[in-house]
A and B are shown apart, each in its own frame.
Chain A
Amino acid sequence: MNIIVPIKQVPDLVEGLEIDESGKDLNREWIKLKLNEFDDHALEEALLLKEESGATVTAIAIDSQDIDKVLFTAAAKGADKIIKVTGNFGTTVTSHEAAKALANAISSMQYDLVLTGVQAVDDRDGQIAVLLANYLNVPHVSVVTGVSINGGAVSVMKEYGGGNVAEFECTPPLVLGIQAARQTPRYVPVAKVRQIMKSATLEEVAGGDVSVVAASTVQKFSFPTGGGSAQMIEGSAEEQANKIFELLKEKGIK
């Protein structure tokens, strides 16, 4: 079984986001990036399947800032191959463009399963798993929390709301959008990443034509004012806790 795992970095939301001068994008100069958390789960699920059924795992990413290190980290965790998709990508790649580039690269490879993360925080034009499946012309299941291989068939758990789960039986090749691996994603020490950077090869594949037919046009980025409605409780932690306590009493909760 050949499993391909597309991975990408996203802005770390713990840091403050800034809007750039155009007003139509993030200010990316000082932005801190991190691996999309759902990709970490997708890679973990692929590695679990490899350990159970002897699959080959390939991590693939579109060329972007600091992506080599991300791919070598995947190799250090146990990916057998790492591939960078090259092309004329700007600082931002839409989901459709990314899906097309990945489809162009993957379609010439041998694969049974493609495990992407279920989503990323920045995909304004849709989630990659299903876009990619449609460009590759293979079936898809997304919001997946469990995968098992039984001979030629793949059994997949898909989550709905309210704690409901559906089980599907699928025939590869197919694309799965992974919400959560069956196990917490493994950790790899930096030393091991450094070591693998010396031995592993990072292959490159051209992304090809990524032009997209129709899209909406971004006009403006802005910070949500939501209601901005929360009344803020100020003071020291002790004073804040006091005020919460008074509030709960006042509302008849305590």
Chain B
Amino acid sequence: MSKQIFVITEHLRGKIDDVTYEMLGKGKELAAASGGELVAVLLGHNQKELANEFGAASKVIYADHEKLADFNPWMYAKIVSEIVAQQKPRVVLTAYSSMGIEVAPAVSVSQGISLTAYVSDLSIQDLKVSVVSQIYGGKMNIEAVDENESMIACVLPGSFPADAGKATGSPAVEDFAVSGLDESKIQFKKLIAPDKSDVDITQSEILVSVGRGIQSNDNLPMVEELATKLGGAVSCSRPIVDSKWMPKTRQVGKSGLKVKPKCYLALGISGAPEHIEGMKEADLVIAVNTDPKAPIFDYAHYGVVGDLFDIIPALSAKL
């Protein structure tokens, strides 16, 4: 059985996503425990120099093709499947991200290997892999064991320290011969940059953030009032944006922005992993939620089990 650990790396606009370093750091630990090597897999076009960012790995497998210049769900899944098929590594780590979510299930089906998603931790002993998934919106941990020849894990960003995987160097680069990308039924057209016309919440030192607990956009003015009194800005969770109550520019989390304010007030936000990803670095997190079991309390420094419709006006009145 192979002892290799593979990390499927991610980049957008030439920048490596932090989750890649998190996986490389964890991958290094797994490789030490399995006695195998850590291999980084890189797909792109004229981007070989990115391999130098993967000094944590002993080797980089690089697939270059003009059609791989931008992420393409079908093409990336196909090439990663081929690379995995050649080597059958013990563990393949992909990110639970917009890119990883397309690759991991595809490789699982095409290669008939097991898949575990929402992974927040994993370890390996005698080639047996123990893996923890965080499901039900972060409300439950599930421990599982994988005794197959090969497995793929879709890792929750923010689970491991990125610094552990940040090492520059020049690992050996092995080119992977790419073919068969001609008849794709999916063509990348363009990348649309985020809107910059609104307040930049990543620059706000104080964020008053609201979630579905706010119930209606009619209730937003009291949140704005609180933010103004605190000299901060209003941000929110995804459902608030999907309901069109606030613009995308205010969304914190996986598909929104990563923020690191001095103070983050989380009001009526449950703390799903996709939200936590965007705010766990805040210096001070104060959460208000009616549900004492809301996962947000695992990440907050201070917690209030209470109704935001009572707390917000009472706090505003003090300021």
Contacts and interface: CB of A to CB of B under 8 A. Distances in A.
Partners in one complex: yes
Interface of A: 11, 13-14, 16-17, 19, 26, 37, 41, 95-96, 99, 118-119, 121-127, 129-131, 133-135, 138-143, 155, 157-172, 174, 177, 179-180, 184, 213-233, 237-238, 240-242, 244-245, 247-248, 251, 253-254
Contact of A184 (B147, B188, B242, B315): B242
Contacts of A180: 242
Interface in B189-246: 189-195, 206, 230-231, 239, 242-244
A69 B254 CA distance: 33
B108 to A, nearest CB: 6
Given A13-B270, A159-B98, A216 B144 contact: yes
Nearest to A232: B303
A224 B298 contact: yes
B124 interface: no
Given A126-B104, A216-B151, A17 B145 contact: no
B284 A143 contact: no
Contacts of A179: 255
A14 B136 contact: no
B295 interface: yes
Nearest to B119: A124
Task: State the majority secondary structure of interface residues on B.
Answer: mixed
A248 B297 contact: no
Assign chain B's interface to a size class: 35 or more
Contacts of B134: 224
A253 B257 contact: no
A225 B303 contact: no
A130 B102 contact: yes
A159 B255 contact: yes
Contacts of A169: 186-187, 189
B101 interface: yes
Interface in B271-290: 284, 286-287
A160 B106 contact: no
A24 B297 CA distance: 24
21 contacts: A99-B109, A118-B101, A130-B102, A140-B74, A159-B98, A160-B99, A164-B194, A168-B72, A168-B186, A184-B242, A217-B146, A224-B139, A224-B295, A230-B300, A230-B301, A232-B305, A245-B315, A251-B262, A251-B284, A253-B262, A253-B263
Contacts of A16: 293
A227 B298 contact: yes
Nearest to A11: B136
A118 B140 CA distance: 20
B73 interface: yes
Contacts of A95: 105, 117
Interface in B92-119: 97-99, 101-102, 104-106, 108-110, 112-118
B298 A166 contact: no
Interface string B118-149: 10000000000111011111111111111111
Given A167-B188, A222-B142, A244-B302, 14 more contacts: A134-B110, A143-B101, A158-B98, A160-B97, A161-B17, A161-B258, A162-B256, A164-B12, A216-B146, A229-B299, A229-B301, A237-B307, A241-B311, A254-B230
Contacts of B307: 237
Contacts of B286: 244, 247
Nearest to B241: A180
Contacts of B98: 142-143, 158-161
Nearest to B191: A166
A228 B298 contact: yes
A135 B109 contact: yes
B205 to A, nearest CB: 8
Contacts of A227: 298-299
A229 to B, nearest CB: 7
A242 B318 contact: yes
Nearest to A238: B314
A220 B319 CA distance: 47
Contact of A161 (B97, B129, B144): B97
Contacts of A216: 114, 116, 129, 131, 144-146, 148, 151
Nearest to A237: B310
Contact of A13 (B114, B137, B147, B194): B137
A233 B192 contact: no
A230 B306 CA distance: 14
B86 interface: no
